[in-house]
Structure 1
């Protein structure tokens, strides 16, 4: 079987990092980490579709991307937990951009509640977004990439270890997403599709800070002693907390031909937190 991955050893560095002529879709892209990823992909030359539950904010983010880099950009509504919504959003992106070559599964949630108190509905919702959402996105990407492409799954350091009380559903869902990254790479290589994961530690974004504050309130209300909790958000070995663009640059590496020999790996972008 011929695997359609070129040897790019003689390609100039400027071309290896370039995404000129490619079309990328970023889920959860209206703000925070997803927006930072969209901006870097556009800077590298890609036309970008920003997919988000909030279609209005997705359109605003797309306009910003287009204004900054002069790339084609479109905002589309997408609920990653709903396969029909993913298909509809992908089609809207293709109608606007002409195709999809790079798919970034970035959307995610992390409500916090002790396992013994967590209702089934909460557990199922976390898996619906964080794991089934990756499956839905990857499956749609395969159907939209007849010439091959790249799928990047934003996992988390929670895909490698436990992180804090109350996040059992999140940790389990991200371990599943990391495993799915491996399996997708195995199954999709013959189609010319590489699949990589990027695992950031906590990065202060609008959504992350709001969710983290809510999680702390819930744990405090449940009587969890927070004074001895590991400082999971500040265990950096580089002297600072990561910024959204720190993660976006790693995603760009995965999406570009710089990483041509890689598939199935999940890259830790965690400032050494999980050593």
Structure 2
């Protein structure tokens, strides 16, 4: 996709939403939100590489989605904060899928600790995954997207924590997600001349394996510190009458990754059921 971006005004809806022939990488793709995102991308026709710390689950999820949707599906292990590992995953996508058209930076950490109790190691780990990981994934994807001259789309999972603080003890997480949101804007400026769009998607809380465990840990940490966090159904005030689901978020990512959103870059789309109003 050479710069400037094409005008697709006359394309039918089916073509605009289709990802047939495109190659997508999803980090944190073995389960939860990442797997839901991968499922919608595969349904739209994209071949997949799922990247996760859990290689076995990444491969199993990729094989399942490939069989269900008739696309190629691969899984591999990578720590998104490790430059060499991210570069190797990007090279694998090029070698096995033929290139990269879509890269979703979804892997993330959600620890909770009062600011006075937060260790340097916890702070550094959160930023290593939630911010550095977004940068490394975006850089390695963009290098390969630009190398074949076709451009592409990078989508970052930002979180409503990139806009607000829901409860105490979130200093590292909130700061890292504000960084990811700012990085989305800056990368959009740098990469537009290469035909690469960069968008963020900011979900509110959705019940995934990781989020459920993180919420439980946050409640335990708050109780140990003599404070309290509100329960999920109170903490997240939904205007649609329910909590979001992983697929609610996955559909927004699909929109961002498809040509339906071709006019958009640098924005972070709030997928929060009105929580941040």
* Residues 198 and 269 in structure 1, CA contact (< 8 A), matched pair in contact too: yes
- 1:98-123: CA deviations, max 9, x gaps? 11100000000011100111010000
Q: Is the 8 A contact 1:164 1:230 kept in 2?
A: no
Partner of 1:13: 13
Gaps of 5+ in 2: none
Supply the distance in 2 between the matched residues of 1:8 and 1:93 (Cα, whole angstroms).
27
**Shift of residue 95, structure 1, vs aligned partner:** 1.8
- Alpha-carbon deviation of 1:67? 1.5
Q: Aligned pair 1:151/2:119, yes or no? A: no
Deviation, 1:69, is 0.5
**Aligned residue for 2:272?**
270
Distance, in Å, in 1 between the alignment partners of 2:186 and 2:117 is: 32
SS at match of 1:75: strand
Instruction: Tell me the TM-score normalized by structure 1.
Output: 0.97
Structure 2 residue matching 1:250: 3-state secondary structure:
helix
Q: 1: distance between equivalents of 2:143 and 2:113?
A: 37
SS in 2 for 1:116: coil
Give the root-mean-square deviation of aligned CA atoms: 1.4
Query: Deviations for 1:114-173, whole angstroms, at most 9, x for unmatched residues?
Result: 011101000000000000000000000111102200000000000001111111100000
Q: How far off its partner does 1:228 sit?
A: 9.5
Using a 3 Å threshold, how does the CA distance of structure 1 residues 62 and 229 change in structure 2: closer, same or farther?
closer
The residue that corresponds to 1:72 in the other structure is 72
Taking the TM superposition and a 5 Å limit, the aligned residue runs for 1:1-275 are 3-146=3-146, 147-226=150-229, 231-232=234-235, 234-275=236-277
- The structure 1 segments of at least 4 consecutive aligned residues displaced by more than 6 Å after TM superposition are none
- Determine if contact 1:236/1:271 at 8 Å carries over to the other structure: yes
Which blocks of at least 5 consecutive residues in structure 1 are unaligned? none
Show CA shifts across 1:189-224 (max 9, x none). Answer: 000000000000000001110111011101111111
CA distance in 1, matches of 2:158, 2:51: 18
